[in-house]
């Protein structure tokens, strides 16, 4: 889900390309329609009015169109705005184009915002929104510099036409990288996992923790198993797992082992609490493919030093479980 290339790519492209109109608006008013400060104010005001209109229409449009279709229309509409602004010498026509651009601006950015929020697990929404803001406004800052350079090199009109071509390209990119359909995602916490009872007394900061899960998969199910494991890998890494690997036993090829690390026991607990309702289907499919007796065998282990630990006679068990990652532990 988010936070993957299919979402970030259109956000970056829109931020870089669409900012051309606003960055070059003073030059549009002065050079292309031979106006002055009043003309610039009218253009900027029309853009703002269009943005308000787009916000008022957004709910109806989302009910009638898919998210991908709405974003694609916003890209193309803004390309029309940029094209008209680059070619038209008539102020009224350019003002209408600016209103269209303002509506498209709001529709695209609000759709991206909704995509990021609704396609991110609840525990990471804040960080996802921060990355969204960085990608959007970083793209605008970079785009403003690029279009200023382009206008100086090729002229204001040509720079706006180049921006329009990029916007059309961004709309076409949706055919290969469509935005996720949010209606099918349930990213609320699953809340099925319970912390296991441990025979070794460890602290929440003890670690690193190594997890292995053993599956028995028939040969005819290997292709399906690997496909599900690709999604499992994405989920594990999203939820904080490190060094994820999938192993196959050379002597008994029916045995497959999923292995990953968590820095501490507390990180492992949080990792399992981050599983969403949508993720449950992956675990259920793996259990269907598993052919061993009972459920897949889970082993939870902690890395330990091989020497240098000579506890006092009165020391407790957890003294031997100091986390290897703790910089304050004894050497």
Name which of 80, 105, 285, 229 is nearest 113 in CA terms. 105
| 156 contacts: CB under 8 Å, gap ≥ 6 | 24, 27, 28, 31, 32, 86
Percent of the chain's residues with pLDDT above 90: 63
pLDDT digits (tens, 9 = 90+) for 167-211: 999 888 877 777 766 666 788 888 898 999 999 989 999 989 999
Residue 7 has what pLDDT?
57
Find the distance separating the first CA and the last CA of the chain, reported in whole Å. Answer: 42
pTM: 0.71
Residue 212 has what pLDDT?
97
More confident residue, 178 or 219: 219
Q: Please state the φ and ψ torsions of residue 147, each to the nearest 5 degrees.
A: -75, -30
Task: Give the torsion sign (CA, 203, 205, 210, 215).
Answer: positive
Mean pLDDT of the region 258-277: 94
Residue 169 has what pLDDT?
92
Residue 182 has what pLDDT?
62
Name which of 229, 79, 228 is nearest 166 in CA terms. 79
Residue 143 has what pLDDT?
93
- Three-state DSSP at 38 gives helix
Mean pLDDT of the region 235-240: 92
Residue 323 has what pLDDT?
52
Radius of gyration for the chain, computed over Cα atoms and rounded to the nearest angstrom? 27
Name which of 211, 225, 101 is nearest 164 in CA terms. 101
Q: Which domains does the chain have, with CATH numbers?
A: 5-182 (1.20.1250.20), 209-321 (3.30.70.100)
Cβ–Cβ under 8 Å, residues 143 and 167: no
Q: Quick check: 122 pLDDT over 90? A: no
More confident residue, 173 or 9: 173
Give the 3-state DSSP-derived string for 186-220, with helices as H, strands as E and coil as C: CCCECCCCCCCCCCCCCCCCCCCEEEEEEEECCHH
Q: Quick check: 6 pLDDT over 90? A: no
How many residues does the structure list for the chain? 331
- Rounded to an integer, what distance in angstroms lies between the CA atom of residue 324 and that of residue 301? 13
pLDDT mean across residues, the chain = 88
Cβ–Cβ under 8 Å, residues 76 and 128: no
Q: Quick check: 310 pLDDT over 50? A: yes
Partner residues linked to 256 by β-bridges: 215, 248
Residue 5 has what pLDDT?
45
Strand order in the sheet with 255-262: 242-248, 255-262, 209-216, 297-302
pLDDT digits (tens, 9 = 90+) for 69-91: 899 999 999 999 999 999 999 99
Residue 131 has what pLDDT?
87
Give the 3-state DSSP-derived string for 243-262, with helices as H, strands as E and coil as C: EEEEEECCCCCCEEEEEEEE
| Half-sphere CA count of 258, side-chain side, radius 13 A | 24
Mean pLDDT of the region 247-262: 96
Name which of 99, 85, 89 is nearest 161 in CA terms. 85
Confidence of residue 237 (pLDDT cuts 50, 70, 90): very high
More confident residue, 227 or 316: 227
């Amino acid at each position: 889900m988010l936070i993957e290339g299919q979402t970030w790519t259109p956000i970056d492209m829109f931020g870089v390309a669409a900012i051309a109109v606003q960055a070059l608006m003073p030059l549009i008013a002065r050079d292309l329609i031979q106006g002055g400060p009043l003309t610039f104010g009218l253009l900027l005001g029309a853009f703002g009015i269009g943005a308000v209109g787009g916000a008022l229409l957004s709910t109806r449009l989302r009910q009638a169109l898919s998210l991908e279709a709405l974003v694609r229309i916003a890209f193309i509409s803004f390309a029309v705005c940029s094209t008209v602004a680059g070619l038209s010498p008539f102020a009224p026509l350019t003002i209408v184009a600016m209103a269209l651009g303002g509506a498209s601006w709001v529709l695209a950015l609000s759709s991206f915002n909704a995509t990021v929020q609704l396609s991110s697990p609840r525990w990471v929404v804040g960080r996802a929104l921060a990355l969204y803001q960085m990608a959007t406004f970083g793209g605008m800052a970079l785009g403003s510099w690029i279009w200023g350079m382009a206008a100086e090199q090729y002229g204001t009109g040509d720079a706006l036409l180049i921006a329009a071509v990029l916007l059309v390209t961004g709309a076409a990119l949706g055919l290969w990288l469509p935005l996720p359909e949010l209606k099918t995602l349930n990213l609320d916490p699953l809340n099925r996992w319970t912390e296991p009872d441990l025979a070794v007394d460890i602290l929440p900061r003890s670690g690193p923790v190594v997890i292995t899960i053993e599956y028995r998969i028939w040969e005819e199910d290997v292709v399906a198993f690997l496909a599900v494991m690709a999604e499992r890998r994405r989920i594990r890494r999203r939820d904080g797992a490190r060094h994820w690997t999938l192993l196959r036993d050379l002597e008994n090829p029916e045995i497959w082992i999923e292995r990953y690390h968590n820095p501490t026991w507390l990180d492992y607990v949080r990792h399992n609490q981050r599983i969403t309702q949508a993720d449950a289907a992956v675990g259920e499919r793996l259990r269907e493919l598993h052919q061993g007796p009972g459920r897949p065998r889970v082993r939870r282990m902690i890395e330990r030093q091989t020497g240098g630990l000579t506890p006092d006679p009165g020391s407790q068990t957890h003294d031997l479980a100091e986390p290897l990652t703790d910089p304050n532990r004894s050497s």
